[in-house]
Structure 1
Amino acid sequence: MSLLTVQNLQQHFPVRGGLLRRSVASCKAVDGVSFSLEEGETLGLVGESGCGKTTLGKAIVRLLKPTSGSIHFEGKDITTAGIGALRPMRRYMQMIFQDPAESLNPRHTVRDILEEPFIVQKLGTKDERRKWVAELLDKVGLSAASADRFPFEFSGGQRQRIGIARAIALKPKLIICDEPVSALDVSVQSQVLNLLLDLQREMGLSYLFIAHGLSVVKHMSDRVAVMYLGKIVELAPAEELYRQPRHAYTRALLDAIPEPDPTKRRKRLLLQGDVPSPINPPPGCAFGHRMKHPLWEKSVGMDLSLKEVSPGHWVQPCPCCT
């Protein structure tokens, strides 16, 4: 049994207009996403800004209530679970947010921030919680003296370490990493990524690792899912996806990875046009429509559900992108 199973998940937001602010349309942020995640595995989720990655992560941990579809965690359906049913399960599902400066309460000390999960779950005495906070800070490479300081007194990388400490406080099984290094300096990114890998090995964590580009994801992931306009267009083992991408959008993302050798030249697949609106997505293949591909019209009316083209390698069967 998989740790996490997502089936045909949709997260639509009403678009309101007119004098009475009635719903006039829907923004299809996540539009029929399915995947599974095993214990101890890292699934990378990549795509451009606005494709629905963060919304998907928030829906999985039930910070958002899905419009339709299902989410099963350890075999239990949590799609429509209420607050009372979710509270004990939240110990095992946590999230690391993109901007540590905004995800940490500036009025609370680090001790207050790290003790809060234990207080909410009614775990430990005051002395036990102080001991646990010191242990958490040590795990993420911060001194015990940091507990009595405020978030603004730390650098961006240190603040993200505090966010990571909060996420692992209750010994979770699944952590949604929502672009955890994109707001950090390049020199600090590798330190934080290596910390996440060390914690995964030590604690047996599973990660859904959300990122913009495929370069960071390659370092972290066992499998990679590529998302475009609310849908997964390709899902494969990381090595195979980098070696043999099947979807045109995946190839475009790989071509966008900077070449470290300035003297080396290579042919790139340049993205044309604008990303279609999730409020009014085009019929058929959205990426083919964007690229004005001559075979796009053939995709209209087709079943574009992911198809397995090799063991563990799934791709959207579109005539203009595969």
Structure 2
Amino acid sequence: MKTGIQIRDLQVHFPLRGGLIPRVQKVCRAVDGLSLEIRPGQTLGIVGESGCGKTTLGKAVCRLVRPTGGQVLLDGEDVLSLRRKDLLRYRRQVQMIFQDPAESLNPRQTVGQILEEPLVIHKLGKSSERKGQVRKILDEVGLPASAVDRYPFEFSGGQRQRIGIARALVLRPSLIICDEAVSALDVSVQSQILNLLLDLQKDHGFAYLFISHDLAVVRHVADRIAVMYLGKVVEEAPREKLFASPLHAYTKALISAIPQADPTAQRQRIILEGDVPSPIDPPPGCAFAWRTYLPCTEEQARQPGKFIEAEPDHWVEAHPGTIEDFSTRFGTART
């Protein structure tokens, strides 16, 4: 069953305790009111600087962290309220590929044990059937059948990530969350893994939530791209539309930082001042307006932006500090 997921006003806040008698003193707003749709069979790319909440979003969708509020809907059912057997059923449909394959694989288990374990947990098939499924998965990700008796440390980084992909794929999920799945690999290996992910998606029809800080990588794999800043989506559009006509000043700055293969090509680099504000103590109003390169007064920066559909299927946070020629009239507010 290939289904999409709707994320509505998702919030993930972490309380920070301190003092002689520990009590909540501040709250880290890692994800703060985020809405997205992951469409069946497509890839939604999530980009943004470190600390913007990308990984927390992925873990919340996978139910590895408990959201503070909002909804994650699968076939109209809010998966945040699922418990025990129902949660186990959901996790069969949503799997995750982690950033560091060396840390995400159990060094005490053989590859065969690692790949068979999800099948055992979900009580799928007899022992002989499970072992046959493991061999089939290894072949799909480009590893020899002899890998079943070897341990993760015996493989290279790219091969270990193939094992991680196989573990996510073995349950035949509807959605796979890729959390910086190629950032720890050499560039030559990155292209191999990205092409493998695309081939597997073509064969099986599942969706990806592809999290990365590298826009060049996301451009290669994503159908749609959402740009995150300080726990919120500030722009979302189909891939080609986002790169051809970005609207948000932050998106333009990220795109201007993509390296070009042609050393003679000239492009104006947009330099942002300062760092991403702390999610523990965010600035008032529009968070990006406080470091924008566009003309914006302090009074304007203290006013929140409005997430609107500026063009058909192109959503953006509209604010004097984020949009050039802000006086241009935009579409209706997103629901």
Other-structure match for 1:124: 125
Asked if residue 301 in structure 1 is aligned to residue 303 in structure 2, the reply is yes
1:251-297 CA deviation, whole Å, 9 max, x = no partner?
00001101212232321101111211100100111111123754253
Paired letter, 1:238: R
**CA apart distance, 1:22:** 1.0
**CA apart distance, 1:21:** 2.0
Other-structure match for 2:110: 109
Asked if residue 238 in structure 1 is aligned to residue 239 in structure 2, the reply is yes
Paired letter, 1:222: D
Does the CA-based 8 Å contact 1:94-1:176 persist in structure 2? yes
1:90-141 CA deviation, whole Å, 9 max, x = no partner?
1110000010000000110000100000000011111111111100000000
DSSP-derived class of the 1:295 partner: coil
**CA apart distance, 1:305:** 3.8
Paired letter, 1:298: Q
DSSP-derived class of the 1:257 partner: coil
Other-structure match for 1:206: 207
How many Å separate the matches in 2 of 1:2 and 1:113?
27
**CA apart distance, 1:40:** 0.5
The TM-score, its normalising length taken from structure 1, stands at: 0.97
Does the CA-based 8 Å contact 1:5-1:73 persist in structure 2? yes
Other-structure match for 1:100: 101
**CA apart distance, 1:2:** 6.4
Paired letter, 2:93: Y
Gaps in structure 1 of 5+ consecutive residues: none
**CA apart distance, 1:32:** 0.5
Q: Once superposed, what is the RMSD of the aligned Cα atoms?
A: 1.3
How many Å separate the matches in 2 of 1:231 and 1:2?
24
Does the CA-based 8 Å contact 1:276-1:290 persist in structure 2? no
DSSP-derived class of the 1:79 partner: helix
The TM-score, its normalising length taken from structure 2, stands at: 0.93
Gaps in structure 2 of 5+ consecutive residues: 324-335
DSSP-derived class of the 1:316 partner: strand
How many Å separate the matches in 2 of 1:165 and 1:2?
21
Asked if residue 157 in structure 1 is aligned to residue 191 in structure 2, the reply is no
How many Å separate the matches in 1 of 2:3 and 2:148?
37
- Summarize the alignment of residues 1-322 of structure 1 with structure 2, pairs less than 5 Å apart: 3-291=4-292, 294-296=295-297, 297-302=299-304, 304-322=305-323
How many Å separate the matches in 2 of 1:285 and 1:50?
17
Does the CA-based 8 Å contact 1:44-1:209 persist in structure 2? yes
Does the CA-based 8 Å contact 1:10-1:69 persist in structure 2? yes
DSSP-derived class of the 2:164 partner: helix
How many Å separate the matches in 1 of 2:15 and 2:306?
25
1:187-217 CA deviation, whole Å, 9 max, x = no partner?
0001000000011010001001000021000
How many Å separate the matches in 2 of 1:202 and 1:257?
30
**CA apart distance, 1:162:** 0.3
How many Å separate the matches in 2 of 1:39 and 1:2?
5
DSSP-derived class of the 1:207 partner: strand
Paired letter, 2:188: S
How many Å separate the matches in 2 of 1:44 and 1:164?
18
Paired letter, 2:101: P
How many Å separate the matches in 2 of 1:305 and 1:97?
33
Decide whether aligned partners of structure 1 residues 192 and 292 sit closer, same or farther in structure 2, where only a CA change above 3 A counts.
closer
DSSP-derived class of the 2:195 partner: helix
Paired letter, 1:37: I
DSSP-derived class of the 2:80 partner: coil
DSSP-derived class of the 1:319 partner: coil
Does the CA-based 8 Å contact 1:2-1:39 persist in structure 2? yes
Does the CA-based 8 Å contact 1:273-1:291 persist in structure 2? no
**CA apart distance, 1:81:** 1.6
How many Å separate the matches in 2 of 1:72 and 1:12?
20
What is the aligned-residue identity percentage? 58
**CA apart distance, 1:299:** 4.1
**CA apart distance, 1:300:** 2.3
How many Å separate the matches in 1 of 2:267 and 2:294?
23
Does the CA-based 8 Å contact 2:16-2:26 persist in structure 1? yes
Paired letter, 1:288: A
How many Å separate the matches in 2 of 1:213 and 1:47?
8
1:53-80 CA deviation, whole Å, 9 max, x = no partner?
0000000011111000000012211112
DSSP-derived class of the 2:270 partner: coil
